[in-house]
Amino acid sequence: MPRLEAVSKRYGRGRWILQDVDVEIPAGSVVAFAGGNGSGKSTLLRMVVGLSKPTRGAVTGRPAVVSYVPDRFSPNERMSPLAYLTHMGRIRGMGTHAASSRAHHLLDRLALVGGKDAELRTLSKGNAQKVALAQAVLVQPQLLVLDEPWSGLDASAHGVLAEIMTEVSGAGGAVAFTDHRESVTRAHASQTYTVKQGRVTLRGPEAVVQRYAVTAVALGMPGHGGVPQEVEWGTIAGVLSVAARGPGALLVEVEQDHADALLLVALRTGWSVVDVTRAARSHRVQDSVAGGNAR
Ligand SMILES: Nc1ncnc2c1ncn2[C@@H]1O[C@H](COP(=O)(O)OP(=O)(O)OP(=O)(O)O)[C@@H](O)[C@H]1O
């Protein structure tokens, strides 16, 4: 499957649009590229499918059957969607009958409004996008690349688009698409890359902030003048931090559940408990463990 290795791109002697891009689009995955207008998303996709060459670096591993849906499909054709798709199916190696019935099926599924027999050039933007999408999946592609596929499509076609992506990736193909909305990439992609200022970086799993309770135990010298034993506080279960608080005084923070055990150790080793307070802490955890034990 396609891999971009140290790819940089500029048009002519213009500015660098993309720099040192390392990206992999694995089999069975749906990879999104998120970024603002003009950040280079379309440029990147065109290099993935082979319509544009990197200025530096290489794109390797492109499979044999690649389908690409550009962000704008506005054919100035008198041909009807049905005739166009049947023709494209034949180019893809299908028989006329098989191509025509597949075209009918896909246009019905995508709810093409405006007529399968109207001229392509008369179609609205959204309907033209539906024809482009149908064209891309006449034959199941090994690599499906979609530039801003959600824009322009109506709500019913959104569901079909999501199904098509799942079908291709579920069959072991790879899917790549762009969008500028995080909600869309989160919902549909297994991995999202951010495209910004020429750099393309893999976004990690979303981090969430989790709050949890700790107990702060202030320890001091015993009033009777005895000397407490040395204790390796950091090795006791649940201890989060140990800090010196002046001569012979410590502040130990411990997870709530382990506070009693810590107090017991303190008292048994001759320390005096000066103060015990509860405090709230927050830390960032990954989505996958949110709701689990805070550590
Ligand atoms: N053929 C070209 N010749 C010269 N410059 C180009 C060409 N194609 C794109 N660019 C420039 O490259 C930059 C990135 O464009 P690109 O279309 O890749 O961005 P994008 O992230 O897809 O933007 P959008 O979200 O608006 O579609 C822009 O500054 C654009 O003007």
pLDDT per residue over 21-64, tens digit each? 999 999 999 999 999 999 999 999 999 999 999 999 999 999 99
Angstrom distance (rounded) from CA 184 to CA 176: 13
Mean pLDDT of 92-103: 95
Spacing, Cα 41 to ligand 1 middle (Å):
8
Probe target for ligand 1 pocket from 9, 21, 42, with the most ligand atoms within 8 Å of CB: 42
Is the C-beta atom of 200 inside 6 A of ligand 1? no
Q: What is the CA radius of gyration of the chain?
A: 30
As given in the structure block, the two tokens for residue 156 are 């019913």
Handedness of CA 258, 259, 265, 266 (dihedral sign): positive
C-alpha distances in angstroms, 39 versus 9, 180, 215, 280? Answer: 12, 10, 48, 41
Which homologous superfamily is 208-289 in? YebC, transcriptional regulation domain (3.30.70.980)
Is the C-beta atom of 39 inside 6 A of ligand 1? yes
Spacing, Cα 84 to ligand 1 middle (Å):
28
Angstrom distance (rounded) from CA 23 to CA 259: 47
Q: Is residue 240 scored above 70 in pLDDT?
A: yes
| pLDDT value at residue 211 | 61
pTM tops 0.95, yes or no: no
| pLDDT value at residue 283 | 59
Q: Which residues lie below 8 Å from residue 228, measured CB to CB, with a gap of 6+?
A: 219, 221, 222, 269, 270, 271, 272
Return the number of other C-beta atoms located less than 10 Å from residue 208's C-beta.
Answer: 12
Probe target for ligand 1 pocket from 8, 17, 72, with the most ligand atoms within 8 Å of CB: 17
What is the location of CATH 3.40.50.300 in the chain? 3-203
What is the location of CATH 3.30.70.980 in the chain? 208-289
Spacing, Cα 100 to ligand 1 middle (Å):
35
DSSP 8-state assignment for residue 204 = P
Cβ-in-10-Å burial (0-12, 13-18, 19+) of 158 comes to middle
Is the C-beta atom of 15 inside 6 A of ligand 1? no
| pLDDT value at residue 285 | 52
Is the C-beta atom of 196 inside 6 A of ligand 1? no
Spacing, Cα 45 to ligand 1 middle (Å):
11
| pLDDT value at residue 293 | 39
Spacing, Cα 42 to ligand 1 middle (Å):
7
Angstrom distance (rounded) from CA 192 to CA 174: 14
What CATH fold (topology level) applies to the domain 3-203? Rossmann fold (3.40.50)
Q: Is residue 85 scored above 90 in pLDDT?
A: yes
Measuring from atom 28 of ligand 1, which residue has the nearest CA? 38
Angstrom distance (rounded) from CA 192 to CA 63: 21
Q: What type of residue sits at position 188?
A: H
Give pairs for 16-21: CB < 8 Å, separation 24+. Answer: 16/198, 17/43, 17/198, 18/43, 18/44, 18/195, 18/198, 18/200, 19/198, 19/199, 20/57, 20/199, 21/57, 21/199, 21/200
